[in-house]
Amino acid sequence: MPPKKRITKELILQKAFEIIHEEGIESLNARYLAKQLNCSTMPIFQSFQDMNELKAEVKLRIDEYYTEFINQYIDKADYLFTISFAYINFARKERNFFGALFVNPLLGSRTVQEVIDSPWNRETIECTAEQFKISIQESEGLYRDVRFYAHGIATQLYGGNMRLSEEEIQTLLRNVMEKFLKGEARI
């Protein structure tokens, strides 16, 4: 009977997840990962074609973690506000995962229209249209503007350029949503 594999694909993915969580995506490379696993790089490349494949799989785990985090905050009666607040809070509380998903090119790039058309964003847009009694087109514009405003706050927190309490974040979001709805603010 062949010996049991000591360094499994699951163990590699878990350690990569931990490295990103603790140190950031920039720290994840084959040599460092192997060192943390106390092995050579061979088990890594026996389990994954290359580091891009490993990163793609660990990104799926981070996406799951992000979804669980966000779902703690979601209130569909106030969807745009609560999802925007959760997004900013994710940058505050899970800095390295935020960087891996939304700052580092691990995610790839998308157009504004692709963001709006993403299935996971459509529900927010539809609920927002209903909440504020606006058209889907107006809701898409509101979603777009609030999303990029929220991303600006989140990246300031991620970069360590700003410190905000949850209350301050909520106030900023409520104020800008009100201004966007009244047509007083433009990005």
C-beta of residue 91 within 8 angstroms of C-beta of residue 166 = no
Residue 93: count of CB within 10 angstroms of its CB: 11
Q: Taking the model in full, what pTM does it have?
A: 0.89
Distance (Å, whole) CA 117 – CA 85: 21
Q: Which CATH architecture has domain 9-55?
A: Orthogonal Bundle (1.10)
Q: Which of 65, 144, 69, 153 is nearest to 110 (CA)?
A: 144
Which residues fall within 8 angstroms of residue 29, CB to CB, at 6 or more apart?
A: 51
Per-residue pLDDT for 6 more than 60?
yes
Domain map of the chain by residue range?
9-55, 72-182
Per-residue pLDDT for 61 more than 80?
yes
pLDDT band at 109 (very low <50, low <70, confident <90, very high): confident
Residue 69: predicted pLDDT:
98
Over residues 15-25, the pLDDT tens digits come to: 999 999 999 99
Burial class (CB in 10 A: 0-12, 13-18, 19+), 68: exposed
Per-residue pLDDT for 79 more than 60?
yes
Question: Amino acid letter at 32?
Answer: Y
Share of the chain above pLDDT 70, in %: 94
Over residues 139-158, the pLDDT tens digits come to: 999 999 999 999 999 999 99
Residue 183: predicted pLDDT:
84
Q: Which of 115, 120, 113 is nearest to 70 (CA)?
A: 120
pLDDT band at 106 (very low <50, low <70, confident <90, very high): low
